[in-house]
Amino acid sequence: MAGFVWRLTRGRGAKQFSLAVCGVLAVVIAFLGKAEASIFDNARATLSDWTGPGLTELRAPLLAVEQWIDNIGTIFTVYRENIQLRQENAELHKWQNVALALENRMQRYELLLHAVPDPRLASITARIIGESNRPFIKTLILNAGTAQQVKKGEAVVDDRGLLGRIYVSGERTSWVILLTDMNSKVPVVIEPSHRRAILTGDNTPSPRLELDVGDGPIKAGDRVISTADGGLLPPDVSVGVVMGKGDDIRVALSARPDTADFVHVIDYHIPEPPPAIGPVAGTPAVGPAAARDATPPAAVAAIVAPKPTTQVNTAPLQSQNLTEPQFDGQNEEQDR
């Protein structure tokens, strides 16, 4: 009996010691995470590089199951949606013709005005292979990293609009912070008033707009696009439309992270300013004295030399007709 009690007490002591060690390690890791966040970010990126191929394989069957479940609810509404799609398709064909005509007209105007075309931005196509709730509420994981020239801070867009920015990039994977995250703040422009604002995430599907520059009117339905202010994002990327009014103005985002699959990582940077133009070595100074000194001797001689006087013809006037009397101007009475 005494031996049994001793073994039981010994087992409890070992468990309490293990629990205490785990608690101390947890506190140390928490303090390190606050003090050296970059260490855990790099470790997280390295771990995602290792698990990236596995996430790609695991996501394929899960994505197929999700699509199959979503299609079950639409079986009974296929006919009605087909009619609506045909109507929308006819309307889109009409607007496509209008857009093509306006595009051709714009190209002709640019040629006439010798307008500088917008530069083509380089981009990399990547696929979303996973999601994570660390270090933010929701973070997307892409299957492209520094090996594909993906860098921190680059914009991530899909076919509908802007999704977010690259937060950290590993060798073969990268992590995306969404526009809806509370740590996200990006500059935008509201059209057609051309008013500047800051799109601030608050962990809701519709981020908040903080008006910044301008006093133009804003109403629901106005387009919100990105701007290159600060060199953070490429310009003219669709973000969403304005919703709400008063002090609580929000944006209904065009891109949907839940349905996004393939995305584009845009490599954008502000063009470097031209170098300052200074005096070129060996170039003579420009000024009246320098111009006078630079005048060639032949030109100086030509300027100083006296101009030749014009010779006046004093010969008597001769008639062109030889049969007519000649007037020599010597004898006035005879001439008359």
Give 261-317 as a 3 state SS string. Answer: CEEEEEECCCCCCCCCCCCCCCCCCCCHHHHHHCCCHHHHHHHHCCCCCCCCCCCCC
| 312-324 residue pLDDT tens | 444 444 444 444 4
Q: Can you give the pLDDT at residue 37?
A: 65
Report whether 171 contacts 145 (CB < 8 A). Answer: yes
The full DSSP string for 66-80 is HHHHHHHTTGGGHHH
Considering just the CA atoms, what is the radius of gyration of the chain in Å?
41
For residue 294 the two structure tokens come to 């630079």
Q: Can you give the pLDDT at residue 245?
A: 77
Low-confidence residues of the chain, pLDDT below 50? 2, 4-6, 8-9, 285-286, 288-295, 299-304, 309-325, 327, 329-330, 332-336
Q: Can you give the pLDDT at residue 36?
A: 63
Q: Can you give the pLDDT at residue 44?
A: 73
Cα–Cα dist 232/135, whole Å? 21
Q: Can you give the pLDDT at residue 335?
A: 45
Q: Can you give the pLDDT at residue 51?
A: 77
Q: Can you give the pLDDT at residue 143?
A: 92
| 260-287 residue pLDDT tens | 889 999 988 777 777 766 555 555 544 5
| 186-234 residue pLDDT tens | 999 999 888 999 999 999 999 999 887 777 788 889 999 999 888 888 8
Report whether 242 contacts 258 (CB < 8 A). Answer: no
Q: Can you give the pLDDT at residue 68?
A: 80
- Cα dihedral 110, 115, 120, 121 sign: negative
